[in-house]
Chain A
Amino acid sequence: MELVLNRADYLQVGVTSQKTMKLLPASKHKATQKVVIGDHDGVVMCFGMKKGEAVAVFKTLPGQKIARLELGGVLNAPQERIFIAAGSEIRGFTKRGKQFLSFETNLTESIKAMHISGSDLFLSASYIYNHYCDCKDQHYYLCGDKINDVICLPVERLPRIVPILACQDRMLRVLQGSDVMHEVEISGPPTVLALHNGNGGDSGEDFLFGTSDGKLGLIQVTTPKPILKWQIQNEKKRGGILCIDSFDIVGDGVKDLLVGRDDGMVAVYSFDNAKEPVLRFDQMLSESVTSIQGGCVGKDGYDEIVVSTYSGWVTGLTTEPIHKESGPGEELKINQEMQNKISSLRSELEHLQYKVLQERENYQQYSQSSKAKSVVPSFSINDKFTLNKDDASYTLILEVQTAIDNVLIQSDVPIDLLDVDKNSAVVSFSSCDSESNDNFLLATYRCQANTTRLELKIRSIEGQYGTLQAYVTPRIQPKTCQVRQYHIKPLSLHQRTHSIDHDRPMNTLMLTGQFSFAEVHSWVVFCLPEVPEKPPVKCVTFYFQNTFLDTQLESTYRKGEGVFKSDNISTISILKDVLSKEATKRKINLNITYEINEVSVKHTLKLIHPKLEYQLLLAKKVQLIDALKELQVHEGNTDFLIPEYRSILEEADHLQEEYKKQPAHLERLYGMITDLFIDKFKFKGTNVKSKVPLLLEILDSYDQNALIAFFDAA
Chain B
Amino acid sequence: MLLPVFTLKLRHKISPRMVAIGRYDGTHPCLAAATQAGKVFIHNPHTRSQHVSTSRVCQSPLESDVSLLNINQAVSCLTAGVLNPELGYDALLVGTQTNLLAYDVHNNSDLFYREVADGANAIVLGTLGDISSPLAIIGGNCALQGFDHEGNDLFWTVTGDNVRSLALSDFDGDGKKELLVGSEDFDIRVFKEDEIVTEMTETEIITSLCSMCGSRFGYALSNGTVGVYDKTTRYWRIKSKNHAMSIHAFDLNSDGVHELITGWSNGKVDARNDRTGEVIFKDNFSSAIAGVVEGDYRMDGHIQLICCSVDGEIRGYLPGPAEMRGNLMDTSVDQDLIRELSQKKQNLLIELRNYEENTKAELSGPLNETDGQRGIIPANTKLHTVLSVNLGNETQAAHAELCISTSNDTIIRAVLIFAEGIFAGESHVVHPSVHNLSSSIRIPITPPKDVPVDLHLKIFVGYRSSTQFHVFELTRQLPRFSMYALTSPDSASEPLSYVNFTIAERPQRVAMWLNQNFLLPEDTNIQNAPFQVCFTSLRNSGHLYIKIKLNGEITLNTDDIDLAGDIIQSMASSFAIEDLQVEADFPTYFEELRKVLIKVDEYHSVHQKLSADMADNSNLIRSLLVRAEDARLMRDMRTMKNRYMELYDLNKDLLNGYKIRCNNHTELLGNLKVVNQAIQRAGHLRVGKPKNQVITACRDAIRSNNINTLFRIMKVGTASS
Contacts and interface: CB of A to CB of B under 8 A. Distances in A.
Interface of A: 7-9, 12, 311, 313, 322, 335, 338-339, 341-342, 345-346, 348-349, 352-353, 355-356, 359-360, 362-363, 366-379, 401-403, 406, 408, 410, 412, 419, 421, 423-431, 436-439, 442-444, 446, 448, 450, 471, 473, 475-483, 626, 629-630, 632-637
Contacts of B240: 424, 426, 448
B96 to A, nearest CB: 18
A311 B366 CA distance: 34
B358 A629 contact: no
B469 A359 contact: no
A206 B436 CA distance: 58
Interface stretch (B421-429, B478-486, B662-670): B421-429
A376 B341 contact: no
A376 B466 CA distance: 11
Contact of A9 (B338, B347, B349, B366): B338
Contacts of A419: 241
A236 B436 CA distance: 45
A473 B461 CA distance: 13
B381 interface: yes
Contacts of A341: 338
Contacts of B352: 352, 355-356, 359
B471 A481 contact: yes
Given A377-B350, A377-B354, A423-B241, A483 B341 contact: no
Given A322-B332, A476-B347, A476-B350, A373 B428 contact: no
B355 interface: yes
B378 interface: yes
Interface string B341-361: 111111111111111011001
Contact of B347 (A366, A402, A408, A448): A402
Contact of B469 (A426, A444, A477, A480): A480
Contact of B350 (A7, A8, A313, A379): A379
A636 B334 contact: no
B432 A373 contact: no
B467 A408 contact: no
Nearest to B426: A428
B12 A402 contact: no
Which secondary structure dominates where chain A touches chain B? mixed
A348 B352 CA distance: 14
Contact of A629 (B36, B337, B436, B466): B36
Interface of B: 12-13, 35-37, 39, 60-62, 68, 224, 239-241, 266, 332, 334-335, 337-339, 341-355, 357-358, 361-362, 366-367, 371, 374-381, 413-414, 416, 418, 423-429, 431-433, 436, 458, 460, 466-473
Contact of A345 (B341, B380, B458, B469): B341
Given A349-B344, A634-B37, A637-B61, A430 B423 contact: yes
Given A373-B378, A406-B416, A479-B470, A8 B432 contact: no
A359 B377 CA distance: 19
Contacts of B379: 363, 366-367, 369, 372-374
Contacts of A12: 342, 346
Nearest to A358: B355
Contacts of A376: 354, 374-376, 468-470
B468 A481 contact: yes
B37 A482 contact: no
Contacts of B468: 376, 378, 480-483
Contacts of B431: 408, 410, 437, 439, 442
Contact of B37 (A356, A475, A633): A633
30 contacts: A9-B335, A9-B338, A345-B341, A349-B341, A356-B348, A359-B352, A359-B355, A360-B355, A371-B362, A373-B361, A373-B367, A373-B371, A376-B470, A377-B357, A401-B346, A406-B416, A419-B241, A426-B239, A426-B426, A427-B241, A436-B436, A446-B427, A471-B414, A471-B469, A478-B354, A479-B472, A481-B469, A483-B466, A633-B39, A634-B37
A468 to B, nearest CB: 12
Contact of A626 (B36, B345, B361, B436): B36
Contacts of B334: 335, 338-339, 342
Nearest to B341: A345
A345 B342 contact: yes
Contacts of B436: 436-437
A401 B349 CA distance: 13
Contacts of A408: 414, 416, 429, 431
Contacts of B37: 630, 633-634
Which secondary structure dominates where chain B touches chain A? mixed
A18 B704 CA distance: 81
A467 to B, nearest CB: 10
Instruction: Point out which of A322, A335, A356, A428 has the most chain B C-beta atoms below 10 A from its C-beta.
Output: A428
Given A360-B355, A410-B429, 7 more contacts: A322-B332, A379-B350, A429-B425, A443-B429, A480-B468, A633-B62, A635-B61
A349 B345 CA distance: 6
Contacts of A480: 375, 468-471
Nearest to A483: B467
A377 to B, nearest CB: 4
Nearest to A13: B346
Given A373-B361, A410-B431, A633-B35, A431 B354 contact: no
A431 B428 contact: yes
Instruction: Point out which of A373, A448, A483 has the most chain B C-beta atoms below 10 A from its C-beta.
Output: A373
B347 A370 contact: no
A9 B375 CA distance: 35
A487 to B, nearest CB: 15
Contacts of B358: 363, 373-375
Contacts of A369: 379-380
B460 A481 contact: yes
A481 B472 CA distance: 10
Given A377-B353, A403-B343, A629 B13 contact: yes
Contacts of A444: 416, 418, 425-427, 429
Contacts of A360: 355
Instruction: Point out which of A363, A439, A471, A632 has the most chain B C-beta atoms below 10 A from its C-beta.
Output: A471
Nearest to B13: A629
B351 A438 contact: no
Instruction: Point out which of A367, A372, A427, A481 has the most chain B C-beta atoms below 10 A from its C-beta.
Output: A481
A565 B532 CA distance: 78
A668 B467 CA distance: 34
Contacts of A423: 241
Contacts of A374: 358, 376-379, 381, 470
A170 B239 CA distance: 42
Contacts of A378: 374, 468
Given A424-B241, A481-B469, A430 B428 contact: yes
Nearest to B366: A371
A84 B548 CA distance: 81
Contact of A363 (B239, B355, B470, B471): B355
A412 B345 CA distance: 39
B433 A442 contact: no
A356 B344 CA distance: 12
Instruction: Point out which of A374, A406, A410, A626 has the most chain B C-beta atoms below 10 A from its C-beta.
Output: A374
Nearest to A437: B433
Contact of A431 (B62, B418, B424, B472): B424
A430 B425 contact: yes
B273 to A, nearest CB: 15
Contact of B471 (A311, A338, A479): A479
A578 B350 CA distance: 44
A476 B239 CA distance: 22
Contacts of A425: 241
A402 B458 contact: no
Contacts of B416: 406, 408, 444
Contacts of A342: 334, 337-338, 341
Contacts of A402: 343, 346-347, 350
A9 B241 CA distance: 30
